[in-house]
Structure 1
Amino acid sequence: MTIEQDFFNQYRLMYRPFIKQLNIQLEPYQLYSSQWAVLRFLNDKGPHSFVEIANFMTIEKPSVTKLVHKLIELGYVETTTGKDKREKLVHLSPYGEELVQKIQLQLKSFFEQALAGVPKQDIDIATQVLARICMNINQ
């Protein structure tokens, strides 16, 4: 096995169990990792259109529509009309803002446990490497 194959194999072996455990952490809030990604995006970047969310998540707009409608149903997000009346902006509801803070606190220990024994410098390097790979794939 080449070093490249080994790297992506290790990534795959880490990714699935991570998402499974993340979904377990999110289950009390009736959320899955993809819905959590939308909430985090809106929390970090503010209101965005369905298209912008789709671009950020690299998924199709109909998938975002389904995700957002579920988040609206749960009371976590709301929509408003954008500059163009055809455009809808999605933003966190006041309840959603509180919930994101609560979940982030809960997930802090989960992330710390997952990264236990990994030096901060290695985490920084891995973060940069994954960002670069993402850029290479999306060119």
Structure 2
Amino acid sequence: MFTFRTLFHQLILTYRPFETRLNERLAKHHLHRTEWSILYYLVTSESMTLVEMARLLSVEKPNITRTMKSLVEQGYVEAKTGKDKREKHMIVTAKGIEVYNEIRSTVDEFEQQMLVGIPEEEQLAFIQTMQKIRENLLNK
């Protein structure tokens, strides 16, 4: 039996419904998953450049630029000039933090529902496995 085939097949089968259902919940807050991801990483890291965010999320910089523009227009994020005037560090505004905290409880509830019946030790093992897979993907 080739366990790896089943693992990746299950990952693919799980990702789309997860993203769809998460987007349904985020729509109540007028955000989608990509905006939520960026907001999450900015809150947890305090600031990032567009290039850093693109690398972290493994997407092209123009996609990050469009999504960031939407977050700026909503007043959730703003750009601060770094040491190099060309480099802009994106930070979360007070309004962004307020919205993040509102949405955090919605996302926490959703994610907890998805993990019902899965013991914490299995969750931790899965986290470690996904981290190793990501490392392997990015280092190849």
TM-score (norm 1): 0.96
- Deviation track 1:120-139 (CA, whole Å, cap 9, x = no partner) reads 00000000001100100111
Dislocated runs of 4+, deviation >3 Å = none
Corresponding residue for 2:68? 68
| CA apart distance, 1:109 | 1.3
Q: Percent identity?
A: 34
Q: Which one scores higher on RCO, CA 8 angstroms, separation ≥ 6?
A: 2
> Where in structure 1 are there 5+ consecutive unaligned residues?
none
Provide the C-alpha distance between the structure 1 equivalents of 2:55 and 2:12, rounded to a whole number of angstroms: 23
Q: Deviations over 1:62-101 (max 9, x none)?
A: 1111110010111111111111111111110100011111
Matched, 1:90 2:90: yes
Answering whether residue 53 of structure 2 is matched by residue 46 of structure 1, we say: no
**1:44 & 1:84 partners in 2: Cα distance?**
23
Query: Once the two structures are superposed, what CA deviation does each residue of 1:30-70 show, in whole Å capped at 9, x if it has no partner?
Result: 21111111000000011111111111111111111111001
Q: SS at the partner of 2:28?
A: helix
Q: Which amino acid aligns with 1:49?
A: T
Distance 1:91 1:80 in 2: 7
Output the CA distance in 1 between the equivalents of 2:12 and 2:49.
31
TM-score (norm 2): 0.96
What does residue 124 of structure 2 align with?
Answer: 124
Further displaced range: 47-56 or 118-127: 47-56
Q: How many equivalent residue pairs?
A: 139
Task: Find the counterpart in structure 1 of residue 59 from structure 2.
Answer: 59
**Structure-2 separation of matches of 1:10 and 1:86:** 43
Whole-angstrom distance in 2 between the partners of 1:3 and 1:57:
27
